Copies of this chain bind each other. A is one copy, B any other.
Amino acid sequence: MISKKMRATLAGSSVIRQMFEEGNRLAKIHGAENVFDFSIGNPNVKPPEKVKTVIKEILDNEDPNYIHGYMSNSGYEDVREGIAQDLNKKHGLNLTYKNVAMTVGAGGGLSIVFKTILDPDDEVITFAPYFGPYGNYIDDCQGKLVVVPSKMGTFEPDTKALEAAITPKTKAVIINSPNNPTGVVYKEAVIKELADLLTKKSAEMNNTIYIVSDDPYREIVYDGIDVPYMLNYYKNTFGVYSYSKSLSLPGERIGYVAFSPEMDEAEEVEICLSNATRNIGYTNAPSLFQRVILECLDETVEVDVYKRNRDLLYNHLLDLGFECAKPEGAFYLFAKTLVPDDKAFVQAAKKYNLLAVPGSAFGCPGYMRMSYCISYDKIERSLNAWTQLANEFKK
C-alpha cells in the first residue's frame, strides 16, 4: 500500500506536467507540428556550440574515472571555486568555493536549502503567481507555504502584504526574478524594500528570515534591463541557480546554491547543504556537467530568439484584447483569460490545439501562462488559432 501522503498526490499531479503529457498525446494524433504547445518551459534555443566541444574535449583528455566519479557531495572544489570567482567578477562579491554547492538543478537546490533551514510547521512566504513545485519542496520538509499576492499590474512583490504575513514561524521568503510565470523583473527599489523589511523583521522576531532567490532566468532578459543580485542586498540570501535556461540544459539537472560568507552560521550552512544532498539521495550534482559548466561560465544562449518570440506573441495577444504585463525576462507570458474561469478557458483552447497552463496552477486564477520557448515559425502558425479562440469568447 502506498503512503497516504503520496496517495493524496495521485489526483493532483502537476498541471504543467499534465499539459506536457497532453501535448505529447495530441502530437501523436495530430502530428507534433500541428500542436501549439505553450505549456512547459523546455527551451528550444540551442545550447551554445561550446557545450558540445567542451564535452568532447573533456572525454578525450581527462581521466574517465575522475570525470564520471564521485567527488565531495557539494561538488568538485575547482568547479565551485570557478563559479564563486565568476559571481565575484559579475557582482562584486567575495565568495569562495565554500559558499557554492553544486546541485541537481534549481529544483534540487531549492530542496536542499529548505532541508537546511526548515523544521516542521515552519513557514515560507512567496508571492502569487508562483511556481507550483515550491509547495512540494516545502511540504517535503513538513513546512508550510504561505502565499501573499503580488502587486496586480506590475506583479512585483507586495511588501505590505508580506509584512502582514510574517509570523514567528516565518523562516524564509521566496522571490523569483525574472519571474515564472509573469516574466517580470524586480527593480532595485523593491529589492531594497524587501531587504530592509526582512532585516527589521528578523531583529523583531529574533530569528533569521532568509531570502531564497530562485534565479534560473537571470540571464534571460530583454532590452538591457538590469536584474539586481539579491546577495548584494541581503546577507541571509540563498541564490539558487540552474543552467537549464541560460545554457538550454534543463534535462541535465545542473545548478548551484550560492550564499554569502557573511550569512548567519555560514560554516554550518555549508555542511548542512552537503549533508542534505546526501540525505535525499542525490549524492552529488552530475559530474561531467559540473566539469562542462566550469568551461562555459561565459556562455549563454541567444536571448534574442526569445525576444523575437515575445514580441510576436505579445503583440498579437494585445491586438486580440488580452491584458498582459510585458515580459522583461524569462520566456513566459501571463495573460488574463477572457473569462474568469481560467481552467475552462484553457480547456477551450485545446480545441484549437493550443496548450497553456491555467493561472490557478500558479495560485492566480483568471490568468494563463504561455511558454514562448518554442520555434518562431510555430508561434506564427499559432496566431490564427489564438484569433479563433478569442473570437469564440467575444461572441
Binding site for B on A (CB under 8 A): 1-7, 9-10, 13-14, 17, 20-21, 40, 42-47, 51-52, 55-56, 59, 64-65, 67-73, 104-105, 107-112, 115-119, 122, 133, 136-137, 139-142, 207-208, 248-253, 264-265, 268-269, 271-272, 274-276, 278-289
Chain B CB count within 10 A is highest, among A141, A142, A252, for A252
Query: Which residues in B have their C-beta under 8 angstroms from that of A117?
Result: 1-3, 6
Query: Which residues in B have their C-beta under 8 angstroms from that of A289?
Result: 286
Q: Shortest distance in angstroms between A394's beta carbon and chain B's nearest beta carbon?
A: 35
Knowing A248-B64, A248-B65, A278-B14 are in contact, say whether A253-B283 is a contact too (CB < 8 A). yes
Knowing A10-B272, A43-B69 are in contact, say whether A281-B107 is a contact too (CB < 8 A). yes
Distance in angstroms between the alpha carbons of A136 and B112 in the assembled complex: 14
Distance in angstroms between the alpha carbons of A69 and B24 in the assembled complex: 14
Q: Shortest distance in angstroms between A209's beta carbon and chain B's nearest beta carbon?
A: 10
The reply to whether A288 and B1 contact each other, CB–CB distance below 8 Å, is no
Distance in angstroms between the alpha carbons of A271 and B5 in the assembled complex: 13
Q: Shortest distance in angstroms between A343's beta carbon and chain B's nearest beta carbon?
A: 20
Distance in angstroms between the alpha carbons of A209 and B149 in the assembled complex: 45
The reply to whether B46 and A3 contact each other, CB–CB distance below 8 Å, is no
List 27 A-B residue pairs with CB atoms under 8 Å apart, sorted by A's residue number: A2-B269, A2-B272, A3-B272, A4-B119, A13-B274, A13-B275, A17-B278, A42-B69, A42-B70, A47-B65, A51-B64, A52-B59, A52-B64, A64-B248, A68-B249, A68-B250, A104-B253, A104-B283, A107-B282, A108-B281, A109-B281, A110-B281, A137-B281, A140-B279, A251-B288, A253-B282, A253-B283
Q: Which of B68, B72, B110, B248 contacts A68 (CB 8 A)?
A: B248
The reply to whether B252 and A68 contact each other, CB–CB distance below 8 Å, is yes
Chain B CB count within 10 A is highest, among A1, A108, A110, A265, for A1
Query: Which residues in B have their C-beta under 8 angstroms from that of A1?
Result: 117, 207-208, 264-265
Closest to A12 in B: B275
The reply to whether B64 and A55 contact each other, CB–CB distance below 8 Å, is no
Query: Which residues in B have their C-beta under 8 angstroms from that of A73?
Result: 17
The reply to whether B6 and A105 contact each other, CB–CB distance below 8 Å, is no
The reply to whether B251 and A139 contact each other, CB–CB distance below 8 Å, is no
Q: Which of B68, B105, B142, B251 contacts A251 (CB 8 A)?
A: B68
The reply to whether B279 and A105 contact each other, CB–CB distance below 8 Å, is no
Considering the complex of A and B, which 3 residue pairs feature the smallest CB-CB distances, nearest first? A251-B287, A111-B281, A107-B281
Distance in angstroms between the alpha carbons of A6 and B9 in the assembled complex: 26
Q: Shortest distance in angstroms between A236's beta carbon and chain B's nearest beta carbon?
A: 10
The reply to whether A72 and B21 contact each other, CB–CB distance below 8 Å, is yes
Q: Shortest distance in angstroms between A391's beta carbon and chain B's nearest beta carbon?
A: 33
Q: Which of B2, B43, B44, B280 contacts A140 (CB 8 A)?
A: B280
The reply to whether B251 and A71 contact each other, CB–CB distance below 8 Å, is yes
The reply to whether A3 and B107 contact each other, CB–CB distance below 8 Å, is no
Q: Which of B45, B251, B272, B284 contacts A70 (CB 8 A)?
A: B251
Distance in angstroms between the alpha carbons of A9 and B277 in the assembled complex: 12
Distance in angstroms between the alpha carbons of A126 and B52 in the assembled complex: 44
Query: Which residues in B have their C-beta under 8 angstroms from that of A283?
Result: 104-105, 107-108, 250, 253
Closest to A65 in B: B44
Query: Which residues in B have their C-beta under 8 angstroms from that of A137?
Result: 279-281
Q: Shortest distance in angstroms between A180's beta carbon and chain B's nearest beta carbon?
A: 14
Closest to A247 in B: B68
Knowing A136-B279, A275-B9 are in contact, say whether A286-B253 is a contact too (CB < 8 A). yes
The reply to whether B65 and A6 contact each other, CB–CB distance below 8 Å, is no
Distance in angstroms between the alpha carbons of A72 and B105 in the assembled complex: 16
Distance in angstroms between the alpha carbons of A141 and B4 in the assembled complex: 12
